[in-house]
Structure 1
């Protein structure tokens, strides 16, 4: 998959996420998505928000085993209201089988 993906929300807004290594995540707050490739396109299998993106790494093995996730993408969002608003928008559009509101 590519280094960046743009995900649409139910509102029509696009959100750019950067691929990340679960072992080297920043301690910054933000949004994250686990994806798998489906017909050459990223399919969101989990989306969430975290006070520290390092906590998203704990989900890595479960997302891989349970949903076939191949990649983790992150979006830095320090402002809680922005983080949660974007999460809800993506959640409503993507309807992934798993989601997490504000872990940490």
Structure 2
């Protein structure tokens, strides 16, 4: 239960961090995040999250033809998404330091 609640608050920022360097399509993001099993449990949780990020204007999408099947939807972080990620990163750093200090005291 605890991991589920923490994950809900941070996975969207992990997706934005994955998009910092280059646009990616959904399956790429699943593979990247899937290497850290505590971040993503299934594809079914990623696509609704990407839809929310699009609605918030934190990502944009582009359809790109694929030789291996239907066109792929690539996601790219926007300037607003970058600001949100930077804000989260600063907040997360302070938050985790405070939590660690409290747990170790």
Indicate whether the TM-score tops 0.5.
no
Higher relative contact order (CA 8 A, sep 6+): 1
The structure richer in strand per residue is: 1
Q: Which has the larger radius of gyration?
A: 2
The structure richer in helix per residue is: 2
TM-score class normalised by the smaller sequence = 0.3 to 0.5
- With structure 1 as the length reference, what TM-score do the two structures score? 0.37
